[in-house]
Structure 1
Amino acid sequence: MSLQFLGLAGSLRAKSTNRGLLRAAQGQLPAGVSLALAELADVPFYNADLTEKPAAVQRVLAQLAAADALVLACPEYNYSLAPALKNMLDWASREPDNALLAGKPVAIMGAGGGMGTSRAQYHLRQVCVYLDLHPLNKPEVFANAFAGGFDEHGDVRDERLLGQLAAQMQALKDWTLRLRA
């Protein structure tokens, strides 16, 4: 059985460490799993007055529909999750019966200062409850983006962090299969 994960990074910067976490996760996948990355930079803010979904929104919604599980790379902005990530979740939640999110397994990771986005991740977990997403409890990935574990391009260099990502991807595979049973 093959599983398709979809990664969404809350940071839009090309050299973002959160995008780097997703790229590193792509290299740490267990057998039978692939991880596509959604591009959120061109997704406009959710607006209920729009009668037609913009092309960028339609593209990501199609990726969400095809995904068996989500991998959310959550930066921390002012103790909360980044607007780009929340915005895409808002767009997706407006689909009839919340069909793109309800019941879907999720892994959450993040790179930032000090506590490595822990506050934002816990806030994102609250959002997941409302959206009926099923976050993986452990292992958690809280990376300090300023402690030398990333290079100047935002790519992961730290072997310990790569191991954490591998463990989280394996756990997400197991969680996804468990929820399907």
Structure 2
Amino acid sequence: MSNNTRIVAFSGSLRKDSYNTAAIKVAMEMAPAGCEIELLDIGTLPLYNQELDGDKAPEAVLQLAEKVMAADAILFSTPEYNYSVPGGLKNAIDWLSRQKPQPFAGKPAAIMSSSISLFGGARAQYHLRQIMVSLDVHFVNKPEVMIAGAHEKFDDQGRLADSTSRDFIGKLITSLITLTHTLKPSEITHE
């Protein structure tokens, strides 16, 4: 079994200075040797339209599906909009859920969230888990990473200064890698 693990990451925020994108960058920095995390771009996807399913899907959707299929695991970092996940993230999931073969099926995943609120995006995390159940995604249960008061924990350059949050992100990535190797030990052989 190789120790190499390819993780694709979705930021639920399309904002340039997103705390959630910054949290993914922290995960990239903290990833152990042999673990690669790629931040995917979902900001250019058109709104989901069933008339464009299958062979008619936009090229951006097909490329995204290929990257998810090739990955060993998925990392989500999402803010909470109106007690749920942002529309851009849900749109990307809707597009990918319609692709054949289903790119999310059987994948291990982890969720973290950053929010200026006191809840840290907890409700969005729980909704995301509900959404992904039907797509056969297997989530890390612990640790739960919810960065509340994010505007006070990230500096002006988007660096996470809060050591407790950094530690939790590191533990989450370790848990995701462990789950990945538990679910698919013989399939992780990238060189």
**Are positions 1:28 and 2:21 aligned together?**
no
Query: CA-atom RMSD, angstroms?
Result: 1.3
1:15–1:152 contact (8 Å) kept in structure 2: no
Distance 1:156 1:117 in 2: 17
Kindly indicate which of the two structures has a greater share of residues assigned to strand.
1
1:29–1:166 contact (8 Å) kept in structure 2: yes
Q: What's the CA shift for 1:152?
A: 2.5
Aligned residue identity for 2:110: A
Give me the TM-score of the superposition, normalised by structure 2: 0.89
SS of the aligned residue for 1:49 comes to helix
Aligned residue identity for 1:129: V
Return the match for 1:149 from 124, 140, 153.
153
Return the match for 1:161 from 165, 178, 182.
165
Return the match for 1:9 from 4, 8, 11.
11
**Are positions 1:60 and 2:64 aligned together?**
yes
Q: Which runs of 5+ in 1 are unaligned?
A: none
2:31–2:173 contact (8 Å) kept in structure 1: yes
Aligned length: 180
Distance 1:7 1:19 in 2: 9
Distance 2:61 2:151 in 1: 35
Give me the TM-score of the superposition, normalised by structure 1: 0.94
Which residue does the alignment assign to 1:76? 80
Runs of 4+ in 1 over 6 A off after TM superposition: none
**Are positions 1:133 and 2:137 aligned together?**
yes
The alignment-based identity, stated in percent, is 37
SS of the aligned residue for 2:46 comes to coil
Q: What's the CA shift for 1:97?
A: 4.7
Distance 1:57 1:11 in 2: 18
Q: What's the CA shift for 1:62?
A: 1.8
Q: Which runs of 5+ in 2 are unaligned?
A: 186-191
Aligned residue identity for 2:17: K
After superposition, where does 1:32-47 map in structure 2 within 5 Å?
A: 32-47=34-49
2:78–2:113 contact (8 Å) kept in structure 1: yes
Aligned residue identity for 2:73: A
1:16–1:153 contact (8 Å) kept in structure 2: no
